[in-house]
Amino acid sequence: MDFLLYLYCIIFGIILIAPFVLFHFRFRLDESPFGKEEEADLKPIIEKKRNLLDSLKDIRSDFDSGKLSEEEFQSQSLPYIEALDSVELELKEKKLVLTNQTTLPSPKINDDWNCSNCGSFVAVPNAKFCPNCGTSRLA
């Protein structure tokens, strides 16, 4: 009888926990239901850049209010500026990698176009399809 009690407790626990687990994996908060964003890989770098710029703004406002002298302002802002330069370089490299991965070669359009399907010459200059058989002009 104890065995059945343990079995029923385990089954009841699975029934209670399963909807929450399925909901967690089905509706993740970090993913959009419409698919992955194009710049999702760039978000951490952009956030880091934004934080560095906010820190520089805070230091600048302290300098403008007179809390910091010129030397203190320069010494405190220098590490942030160097970090910002490295983040900018990293951001440019990531963007370059992403654009190289997503760029598709443009299709080549034949200038003197004889249809490859029916062999007829198409005299219409901007035609994208053969008027006789409907074959695409894209090579």
Structure-model confidence comparison of residues 20 and 34, the more confident one: 20
Structure-model confidence comparison of residues 20 and 120, the more confident one: 20
Angle subtended at Cα 130 by Cα 125 and Cα 131, rounded to the nearest 5 degrees: 90
Model confidence over 87-119: pLDDT tens digits? Answer: 999 999 988 887 776 555 555 555 566 777 787
Q: Residue 114's beta-bridge partner residues?
A: 121
- Determine the pLDDT at residue 47: 93
Q: Residue 35's beta-bridge partner residues?
A: 32
Are the C-beta atoms of 91 and 46 separated by less than 8 Å? Answer: yes
Q: What is the CA radius of gyration of the chain?
A: 31
Model confidence over 28-79: pLDDT tens digits? Answer: 666 666 666 667 778 899 999 999 999 999 999 999 999 999 899 889 989 9
* 3-class DSSP state of 38: coil
- Determine the pLDDT at residue 67: 92
| 139 pLDDT tier (thresholds 50, 70, 90) | very low
Structure-model confidence comparison of residues 3 and 111, the more confident one: 3
Residue with tokens 């890989």: 41
Structure-model confidence comparison of residues 99 and 20, the more confident one: 20
- Determine the pLDDT at residue 61: 93
Q: How many residues does the chain have?
A: 139
- Determine the pLDDT at residue 65: 93
Domain extents in the chain: 38-103, 107-139
